[in-house]
């Protein structure tokens, strides 16, 4: 499926668009291709785009004061990725967004988005629902980090994001789950053996 058709199909899963509205959506988005490890958004920049992943895999992460990476979001096809706080407040990004593999995103600038909201009101509803969903997912992730064991977090990650596990390096998954790569390896071995003790 061509990439822009994929985007329209994705939007139509949530809201109704007629063909002329779909054409306006396509007109406002721009394609950006990234090489593996290329940075899409650098910490400290202001995020001015909403970004749909048409092909590939990305991560959003930050560095703590000890220069330790903390992965806060992973994304693959048909997902959106951004430093949403930076985008909404127009303040410098706290996260860096980087391609894990060769990736194509379709992105729309804030100014073009405002025009699109007026042209196609259904798109504004789509993004409101997407932002609500992103907030819920963030809250759930934070609660899981504080209320579930590492093994429980990994099992839930594996259940919900099975296709991510094969595409993302183990150390990034461990960071996302708030554990060390060594501990994740230990959990995997215990799972393979059929126990957690």
**Three-state secondary structure readout of 155-190:** HHHHHHCHHHHCCCCHHHHHHHHCCCHHHHHHHHHH
List the one residue out of 36, 44, 177, 167 whose CA is nearest residue 104. 36
Rounded mean pLDDT, 24-35: 97
Model confidence over 73-88: pLDDT tens digits?
A: 999 999 999 999 999 9
Amino acid 195: pLDDT: 63
Domain ranges of the chain: 3-147, 148-197
Amino acid 196: pLDDT: 56
Rounded mean pLDDT, 126-153: 88
Q: Which CATH number fits domain 3-147: 3.40.50.300, 2.70.98.10, 3.30.365.10, 2.60.120.10?
A: 2.60.120.10
pLDDT band at 1 (very low <50, low <70, confident <90, very high): confident
Q: What is the pTM of this model?
A: 0.90
Percent of the chain with pLDDT over 90: 72
Model confidence over 104-114: pLDDT tens digits?
A: 999 999 999 99
pLDDT band at 160 (very low <50, low <70, confident <90, very high): confident
Rounded to the nearest integer, the mean pLDDT of the chain is 93
Amino acid 197: pLDDT: 46
Q: How many CA atoms lie within 13 A of 17 on its CB side?
A: 28
pLDDT band at 193 (very low <50, low <70, confident <90, very high): confident
Rounded mean pLDDT, 158-172: 89
Residue with tokens 């461990």, as numbered in its chain: 174
Determine the Cα–Cα distance for residues 81 and 75; give it in Å rounded to an integer: 6
Residue 168, token pair as written in the block: 């993302």
């Amino acid at each position: 499926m061509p990439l822009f058709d994929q985007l329209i199909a994705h939007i139509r899963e949530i809201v109704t668009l007629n063909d002329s509205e779909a054409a306006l959506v396509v007109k406002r988005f721009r394609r950006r291709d990234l090489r593996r490890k290329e940075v899409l958004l650098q910490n400290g920049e202001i995020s001015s785009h909403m970004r749909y992943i048409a092909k590939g895999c990305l991560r959003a992460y930050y560095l703590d004061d000890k220069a330790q990476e903390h992965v806060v979001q992973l994304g693959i096809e048909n997902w959106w990725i951004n430093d949403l706080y930076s985008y909404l407040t127009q303040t410098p990004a706290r996260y860096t967004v980087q391609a894990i593999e060769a990736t194509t995103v379709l992105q729309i600038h804030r100014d073009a988005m405002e025009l699109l909201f007026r042209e196609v009101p259904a798109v504004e509803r789509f993004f409101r629902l997407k932002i609500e969903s992103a907030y819920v997912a963030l809250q759930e992730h934070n609660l899981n980090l504080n209320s579930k064991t590492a093994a429980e977090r990994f099992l839930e990650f594996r259940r919900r994001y099975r296709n991510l596990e094969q595409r993302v390096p183990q150390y990034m998954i461990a960071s996302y789950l708030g554990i060390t790569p060594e501990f994740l390896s230990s959990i995997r071995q215990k799972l393979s053996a059929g126990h957690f003790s």
